[in-house]
């Protein structure tokens, strides 16, 4: 039934599960002294732990990086948790094996991270997609705003949860923008946990980050992968009009599985309404689902058609992986051939302008490469030629 007939870092300077920005005060004068003096190793360990909680497929590469950092085996075990082989229904098929990151652009950005003394989930936890996202004609980066503690408890996600997380860092929108503007990246994804404790859900925090970034580096393309802001469509419109290029909000799964997979405060209709409101503001829109949760082919098609009906331009599909034994089981590992089928179906039959589909695809996967070349630049060029 068609209801409308659809690896992360933080530069705030706080240390509770977030990256520590260890720079000299003249570079980022608004940082708190306590963050500069905080123990770097503790923040690094917590960062890796959070990354592996969110995506257990990072565990092997994360363990290698921890070994290089000289962290003892007992500490590594506590941070990384059980291996994929120990998790229920987690015997990975061969197509889920990771490849080591490499490439000239990767090496350049790696060097910039070291110069700025910034840690990223992409790099520190060795995300398997990092070589592809950081290489090519346009490098991309992903930033997590508003802390590491979510006010919701979706059953597919192992992020920390609390009714009242620590307050947002008011300096974060400027600090984030200043850091990103100094890097050689052409596309950045801003994302966050849900912050139902904030009156606008964090919408203005996102918007200020976008505005600061566009002022400091006008040519950069900005995608915001957002919460639903409790269904507050004015908050959605406020962010959509902030100057961002792509408004992303994930439907996560098919309609039937929503209450089983997502927090009850989220919902299929609410996601469609958020995406519709954003699209009406004139931005590109994007959404994503996880496969392997028990959805049927017919339900995937219905989801695609519903998202297309509210104007979604970009659609991504990836494999669900169980983060801990307490989370939802993987019902099925989808083959690369089936993912390719959905890519073609989404583009050729449903009519999305772009579909990224594969076992290791994540919401921000290679965002810049296809958007800058296939859509935004071409569209802007067409508009200019008309005038």
Give the DSSP letter string of 169-200: -TTHHHHHHHHHHTSS-SEEEEEE---TTSTT
Predicted confidence at residue 61, as pLDDT, reads 56
d(CA 267, CA 257): 10
Residues 6 or more apart whose CB falls under 8 angstroms from that of 373 comprise: 137, 138
Residues comprising the chain, all counted: 387
Helix (H/G/I), strand (E/B), else coil: 24:
coil
Helix (H/G/I), strand (E/B), else coil: 74:
helix
Residue 271 lies in a domain: yes
Q: Which residues are annotated as a binding site for [4Fe-4S] cluster?
A: 122, 127, 133, 150, 154, 157, 364
Predicted confidence at residue 196, as pLDDT, reads 92
Predicted confidence at residue 84, as pLDDT, reads 45
Choose among 287, 290, 288: nearest CA to 331. Answer: 290
Residue 19 lies in a domain: no
Eight-class DSSP state of 252? B
Number of domains making up the chain: 1
Eight-class DSSP state of 294? S
Residue 75 lies in a domain: no
Percentages helix, strand, coil for the chain (3-state, rounded to 5) are: 45, 10, 45
Predicted confidence at residue 91, as pLDDT, reads 63
Helix (H/G/I), strand (E/B), else coil: 248:
strand
Q: Which residues pair with 144 in a beta bridge?
A: 191
Which CATH number fits the domain that encloses residue 103?
A: 3.20.20.70
Output the CA–CA distances (angstroms, integers) from residue 134 to 72, 220, 308, 367, in the order listed: 30, 15, 29, 11
Predicted confidence at residue 11, as pLDDT, reads 44
Q: Per residue in 306-329, is it b (16+ CB within 10 Å) or e — as a string?
A: bbbbbebbbbbbbbbbbbeeebbe
Choose among 309, 302, 293, 292: nearest CA to 255. Answer: 302
Q: Which residues pair with 192 in a beta bridge?
A: 145
C-alpha Rg value of the chain to the nearest Å: 20
Residue 185 tokens read as 């990246």
d(CA 178, CA 180): 6
* Ordered per-residue pLDDT tens for the chain, 387 residues: 544 333 344 444 333 333 323 222 223 222 333 333 333 333 445 455 555 555 565 566 556 555 554 545 544 444 444 444 444 444 677 777 554 444 554 555 555 444 543 334 444 334 444 544 444 444 567 788 888 788 888 887 777 788 888 999 999 999 989 988 987 778 888 988 899 999 999 999 999 999 999 999 998 989 999 999 999 999 999 999 999 999 999 999 999 999 999 989 999 999 999 999 999 999 999 999 999 999 999 999 999 999 999 999 999 999 988 877 888 889 999 999 999 999 999 999 999 998 989 888 876 665 555 554 557 667 766 666 676
Residues 6 or more apart whose CB falls under 8 angstroms from that of 78 comprise: none
* CB 240 within 8 Å of CB 214: no
pTM (predicted TM-score): 0.70
Eight-class DSSP state of 321? -
Predicted confidence at residue 8, as pLDDT, reads 44
Residue 364 lies in a domain: yes
Sign, CA torsion 302/305/310/311: positive
Sign, CA torsion 267/269/271/277: negative
Predicted confidence at residue 44, as pLDDT, reads 46
Residues spanned by the domain of 106: 98-384
Residue 4 lies in a domain: no
Residue 40 lies in a domain: no
Q: Which residues are annotated as a binding site?
A: 122, 127, 133, 150, 154, 157, 364
């Amino acid at each position: 039934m068609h209801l409308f007939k659809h690896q992360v870092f933080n530069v705030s300077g706080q240390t509770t599960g977030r990256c520590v920005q260890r720079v000299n005060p003249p570079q980022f004068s608004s940082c708190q002294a306590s963050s500069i003096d905080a123990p770097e190793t503790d923040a690094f360990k917590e960062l890796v732990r959070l990354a592996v909680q969110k995506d257990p497929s990072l565990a092997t590469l994360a363990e290698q990086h921890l070994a290089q950092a000289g962290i003892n085996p007992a500490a590594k075990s506590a941070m990384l948790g059980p291996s994929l082989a120990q998790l229920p229904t987690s015997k990975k098929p061969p197509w889920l094996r990771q490849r080591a990151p490499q490439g000239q652009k990767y090496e350049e950005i790696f060097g910039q991270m070291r110069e700025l003394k910034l840690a990223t989930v992409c790099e520190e936890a060795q995300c398997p997609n990092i070589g592809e996202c950081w290489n090519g004609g346009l490098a991309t980066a992903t930033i997590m705003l508003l802390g590491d503690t979510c006010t919701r408890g979706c059953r597919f996600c192992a992020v920390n949860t609390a009714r009242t997380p620590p307050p947002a860092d008011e300096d974060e929108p400027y600090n984030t923008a200043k850091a990103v503007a100094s890097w050689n990246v052409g596309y950045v994804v801003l994302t966050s946990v849900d912050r139902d404790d904030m009156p606008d859900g964090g919408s203005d925090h996102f918007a200020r980050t976008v505005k600061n970034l566009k002022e400091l580096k006008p040519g950069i393309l900005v995608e915001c992968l957002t919460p639903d802001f409790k269904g507050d469509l004015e908050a959605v419109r406020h962010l959509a009009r902030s100057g961002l290029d792509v408004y992303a909000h994930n439907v996560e799964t098919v309609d039937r599985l929503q209450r089983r997979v997502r927090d009850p405060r989220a919902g299929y209709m609410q996601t469609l309404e958020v995406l519709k409101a954003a699209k009406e503001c004139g931005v590109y829109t994007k959404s994503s689902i996880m496969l392997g949760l028990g959805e049927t082919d017919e339900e995937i098609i219905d989801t695609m058609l519903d998202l297309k009906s509210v104007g979604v331009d970009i659609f991504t599909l990836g494999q669900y992986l169980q983060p801990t034994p307490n989370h939802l089981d993987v019902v099925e590992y989808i083959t690369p051939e089936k993912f390719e089928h959905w890519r073609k179906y989404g583009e050729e039959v449903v009519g999305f302008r772009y579909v990224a589909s594969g076992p290791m695809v994540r919401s921000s996967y290679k965002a810049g490469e296809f958007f800058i070349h296939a859509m935004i630049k071409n569209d802007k060029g067409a508009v200019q030629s008309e005038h």
